[in-house]
Structure formats: structure tokens, C-alpha cells
Amino acid sequence: MAYILEETISNIRHGGVVSILSVIIITLTTVIVAALTLLHNTIRRDVDAIKSSTAIIVFLSDTISSSEQERLIENISGLRSVKKVVYISKIQALERSNQIFGEFSNIIQGLEVVNPLPASIEIQVQEQYLRLQDLEITANQIRQMSKQIEEVSYETLTSSFVNQAEVGILGLGIIMSFASIVIIAFSIVLTVYFRREEIEILRLVGASSWYIGIPLVIQGGFLGGFGSLMGVCLSFLIFQSFNYQLEILSFISMRQTFLIVFSGIFFGLLSSILPTLKYANV
């Protein structure tokens, strides 16, 4: 164990500029990954809000009978894609408007006499049916249920944007992680190059492949772990300085922090195995 630590530190010291460069690049990558995680958290929070809010609104004709209305609610509730149905009467719609307009509610004063707002049915959709195509199908099914339906509206932009944003974040995260793997691997290749004579001597005196290879692999893990830890610390400092005035976001969770650091160690170990096997010939 003492040997592994001693050799790992010696390797990093001999790596010099390349070791420092590796740590800097991993740190910067981690800052970007932390920023992406923060963005993901924010989007995820919005997605959760969307999922728990109304996805489809069915506006009803003023002439709809109460029996027709009850039958319609029953039919909509029976759809597989529907999670929850709430009936909003004309009066409730007006009350909501008053709340929305607040201090400017005088704009809609007098509407109590002839309420122009239609009664509606607000529909929450099951999570797996939130995609654009599924919302369209559900909306069409509802449209065909009654001639007393004036309009069926649904929000599609947000859900498709969220999906695209999540794919984008994942893609960027993968690219940055790949860049880190390449730079750590490069660092190990250089270490092996600088230490080629030493490795040759170790082989001559009967050192096993494990004895030569383990410190190199640990070096990769150390660079990955140290770089990602520095990255998380730097991200926190940047976050604190920017969030000082906003105070609306919370930093990435402790679980995510550990995940990022452990990913750094894991990718570091992983990226050092191949060059160790290939160039140190262990």
C-alpha cells in the first residue's frame, strides 16, 4: 500500500505540467457538468410542475345540458391516458380571472352580469402520455365525444422542449466526460513514456505486471477524483457568487456531488487501464 501511494505521488510529480493540465481540464469539465446538473435540476423541477398541472383544457358550450356534461366527464375519466378531471364552472372561471388580474380586476368589472367565460374541463394526463403525439390523440378522442365541445387546447411546446433540453444536457455531459477520459489517458501515456526506463528496470528485477501497473491506474483515479473535487468546489464558489442576488436556486444535491466525484474517480481509473496495458506492456 505504501509502495502504491509512493509510486502514485512520484508518477504525478514526474508528470509535471501534464498532471497539472489534466487536473485543470478535469476541473473545468466538472464545472460544466455541475452547471449542466444544476440546469437539469431546474428543468426537472419545471417538468414535475408540468406533470402535476393541467395538460388539456376542454371548453364547453354554454348550451350544454348537465346530463350531457356529466356523461362527458365520465367518458373523459374513462380514457386510459387521463389521470384526473376537474370541472370548472362559468362562475369558477370568473373567480379565477379575478384572482389572476388581482389589483387590475376592475378591467373585468361588470362581467358578473353577462359572464362570457365558458365552463371547462381541466384534464391532467398520465406521465407516459405527455408527449406531443399522445396529447394530440387524447385531444382528438375528447373532441369526438360531444358536439357541445367548443374547443380542446393542450400545451405541447413545454413538454417537447423539456425532452430536447434533457437530451441536449445528456449529450453535452457525455462529450465532456469523453474529453476527460481522453486527457487522463493522455496523461498516463506520457507518464509511461517519461518512466519507460524505470518500468524497464522494474521488469528486469522481476516486478510483476500488477506491481508496475497498479500505481499507474491509481494515478488515473487520483487525477480524476482530485480534478472533479476541485471542480465541484469551484462550481460552488461560482454558484454562490452568482446566486447571491438571485437566491432562487439551490446548489446540486450532496448525492449528485458524490456522484460527480465518484464518476471522476471511476473515469480516471477506467481511462488509465488501456494505456497502462498497451504502453506499459503489463
Partner 1 sequence: MIQAYNVNMSYKEDIQVLNDVSFEVQQGEFVFLVGESGAGKTTILRLLYRGLIPTSGELVVAGRNLSTLSKSEIPGFRRQIGVVFQDFKLLPNKTVQQNIAVAMKVTGIKPTEVHHNVNQLLQQMSLVHRRDAYPEEISGGEQQRVAIARAMANSPTILLADEPTGNLDPKLSLEIMHLFENFNFRGTTILVATHDVALIRKLGKRVIRIQEGRSIEF
Q: Which residues bind partner 1 (CB under 8 A)?
A: 2-3, 10, 14, 197-198, 200-209, 211
51 or 203, CB closer to partner 1? 203
- Of 123 and 217, the one with the shorter C-beta distance to partner 1 is 217
Min CB(185)–partner 1 separation in Å: 23
- The identity of residue 267, as a single letter, is F
- Looking at 52-195, list the stretches that DSSP marks H as alpha helix, in order from N- to C-terminal side: 66-77, 90-101, 132-143, 157-194
Closest approach of partner 1 to the CB of residue 231, in Å: 30
Cell numbers linked to 15: 508528470
Question: Is the Cβ of residue 1 or residue 248 nearer to partner 1 in the bound state?
Answer: 1
Report the DSSP pairing between strands 56-60 and 120-125: antiparallel
- How is residue 120 written as a grid cell? 371547462
By the 8 A CB rule, do 143 and 59 touch? no
146-148-150-152 Cα dihedral, nearest 10 degrees:
-30
Q: What's the full length of the chain, in residues?
A: 282
Closest to partner 1 by CB, 118 vs 215, is 215
Nearer Cβ to partner 1 (212/265): 212
Report the alpha-carbon distance of residue 162 to residue 264 in Å, rounded: 27
Name the 3-class secondary structure at 57. Answer: strand
The minimum distance between CB 12 and partner 1, in angstroms, equals 13
Least CB distance to partner 1 at residue 234 (A):
32
Q: Which three cell numbers stand for residue 206?
A: 522481476
Q: How far is the CB of 207 from partner 1 (least distance, A)?
A: 4
Q: Is 191 exposed, middle or buried (0-12, 13-18, 19+ CB in 10 A)?
A: buried
Q: How far is the CB of 281 from partner 1 (least distance, A)?
A: 10
Nearer to partner 1 by C-beta: 14 or 131? 14
